[in-house]
Structure 1
Amino acid sequence: MGYVLLLLLVAIGVAVFVSSRNGKQRELERRTAELEPVKKFAFEDITALGVELQSLDGELAGHDLDAGANADYQRALDAYEAAKTAGDAIARPEDLKHVTEILEDGRYAIACVRARVAHEPLPTRRPPCFFDPRHGLSVEDVPYAPPGGATRDVPACALDAERVRAGADPDIRKVMVGAQRVPYWQGGPAYAPYASGYFGRFGVMDMMFMGMMFGGLGGFDALGDGIGALGDGIGDGLGSIGDGVGDMFDGFDGFDF
């Protein structure tokens, strides 16, 4: 009887190991699938900064830059290179925060260069446009209510602020979630670090606001995936235990108790 108990414990141990391994593999696959679209999203922002730098080069043609403008210009160039390096190193959604922090700093440096060349005061450091950070620095806060959410003041570029005041839809950056195109803030939890890098230092993305925004469509999808994975893991574990116990007792067919 002790031998039977030992084999039963071994079978349970193997089943637990297999279930854990399968669960970790599924979690890795889920995280990879979740990361890829957000990583692509960040690289689109990096490319946009590069295009803006090319445009700035054209604007600066024929202008003599003073020490301050040169320093800001170099800072913008360094931010572009640093963002590309950080983008290549993205291995998890949390890494996106570092990339967008760099991009935010680079865009502010570009705004400073333009102000210096125009002999204007340096711009106040405001968060990027909430509707699409590629629009650059916001110029004011406007009241906006995401579908199903409460009205909040969000930073907007001049064009989007004008659209909102006129009752038109702002130019919102959208992502694919399943078969739907939704605002990036409804893309799921993986987009939260992306937004945090742009807006975190300004206190725009407080916990309540992030919970409202990133707990939407994508958040419920992720929750469903997690519950499904948990159920699959439990099912695999129980199935493995049952198979192990069945195999064990099959082995006793020739014994007479």
Structure 2
Amino acid sequence: MSTVFLLLLVVLGAVFFIGHRKEKARQRELHAAELEQVKKTAEEDVTSFGEEVAELDVITAGVDLDTGGAQDYKQALDSYDIAKETLEKVDEPTDIRHVTEALEDGRYAAKCVRARVEGKPLPVRRPPCFFNPQHGPSVEDIDWAPAGGQLRPVPVCAADAERVAVGADPMVRKVVTGDGHTRRAYWEAGPAYAEYNRGYFNSYAGSGLLPGVLMGAMMFGGMGGGWDGAYGGDMGDAGGDMGGDMGGGDGGGLFGGDGGDGGGLFDGFGDLF
């Protein structure tokens, strides 16, 4: 009887071990696929900024830039090079943050160059446009909500502010998720995009320039909470507390209602709609 019991334990242990290894392998494959999707998104952003840098060559042609202008121009070029080189070396999700950090820095420098060439005041450094960080630094905060959601302040570029003001849809950044074909707003893309988001927004967490709900999300590692409450658990509870304190007292999602069952700010950040 004891021999049969021991054999049963051995069989169960083997089944558990094999199942565990298969699950670990599945998780590795999933994470690798997600990383490739985020890298593709970052590559699109780098390409977009490269086009912006090329335009700087045109608008500065024949222009005698002063010392500040030359420094801004060099910063834009250097940031583009850093973003490209960093992207080529990405092998961990956290590496993506350094790509988008460089892009955010470069886009502000490029905007300064344009202002100098056009004889305008230098722009205040603000967070990127919430709807699409490719749009560069925001110029103001507006109250916005998707259909059925609650109004929240978000930083936006001038073009998107105009669109929203006349009742049009903003130009939202869509990224590939899940099956590799579905495109969703980057803030709905889940935890795989947390580092991508942090690179763009995290430096503004303590600046007072990032609206409270966004700042809370950045402090907990990005906006990639996912619709399914991927952050859940203790972080979801902490996010719920901060969502209540900073987001008007409802403890729910950025634009949603009560944030569901414990997802709090993070479930809510994925629960934007």
**What is the TM-score with the length of structure 1 in the denominator?**
0.76
Q: Does 1:196 align with 2:205?
A: no
Higher relative helix content: 1
Q: CA deviation at 1:90?
A: 2.1
The higher-RCO structure (CA 8 Å, 6+ apart) is: 1
Which residue of structure 1 lines up, in the alignment, with residue 258 of structure 2? none
- CA gap 1:25/1:222 in 2 versus in 1, 3 angstroms: farther
C-alpha distance in structure 1 between counterparts of 2:229 and 2:140, whole Å: 32
Cα–Cα, structure 1 residues 124 and 57, in superposed 2: closer, same or farther, change >3 Å? same
Equivalent in the alignment of 2:85: 85
Tell me which residue corresponds to 1:125: 125
1:73 maps onto 2:82 in alignment: no
Deviations 1:201-245 (A, max 9, x none): 22333335889964454x46899xxxxxxxxxxxxxxxxxxxxxx
One-letter amino acid matched to 1:88: E
Q: Is 2:188–2:225's contact at 8 Å kept on the other side of the alignment?
A: yes
- State the Cα distance separating 1:132 from its structure 2 match: 0.9
- The question of 1:26 aligning with 2:35 is answered no
SS, match of residue 69 in structure 1: helix
Query: Alignment partner of 1:206: what SS?
Result: helix
**Shift of the alpha carbon at 1:184?**
1.6
Matches within 5 A, 1:1-257: 7-147=7-147, 149-177=149-177, 178=179, 180-203=182-205, 204=210, 205-207=214-216, 214-217=224-227, 219=228
Q: Identity of paired residues, percent?
A: 52
Write the distance in 2 (CA, Å) between the matches of 1:149 and 1:166. Answer: 18
Contact conserved, 1:131 with 1:170, CA < 8 A, in 2?
A: yes
| Separation in 1, partners of 2:126, 2:222 | 23
Q: Which residue of 1 aligns with 2:240?
A: none
Q: Distance in 2 between matches of 1:152 and 1:3?
A: 66
Partner Cα distance (2:111, 2:222) in 1: 31
| The structure with more radius of gyration | 1
The offset of 1:20, in angstroms, is 2.3
CA distance in 1, matches of 2:40, 2:163: 28
Q: Is the 8 A contact 1:149 1:212 kept in 2?
A: no
| 2:129/2:137 contact within 8 Å kept | yes
State the shift of 1:51 in Å: 0.5
Shift of 1:5: 5.7
Shift of 1:2: 6.5
Give the AA of the match of 1:207. Answer: G
User: How many angstroms apart in 2 are the aligned matches of 1:222 and 1:176?
Assistant: 20
The structural deviation recorded for 1:133 is 1.0
**5+ long unaligned stretches in structure 1:** 224-257
The more displaced of 120-129 and 154-163 is 120-129
In 1, are the aligned partners of 2:225 and 2:231 still within 8 Å (CA)? no
Q: In structure 2, how many angstroms separate the alpha carbons of the residues matched to 1:149 and 1:182?
A: 17
TM-score by length of 2: 0.72
How far apart are residue 180 of structure 1 and its match? 4.7
Q: Who is 2:242 aligned against?
A: none
How far did 1:102 drift? Answer: 0.8
1:136 Cα offset (Å): 1.3
> Partner amino acid for 2:27?
E
CA distance in 1, matches of 2:35, 2:196: 11
Structure 2 residue ranges without an equivalent (≥5): 233-273
Per-residue CA distance 1:162-203 (angstroms, 9 max, x = gap): 111111111111134456542121122212221221112223
Instruction: Write the letter of the residue equivalent to 1:184.
Output: Y
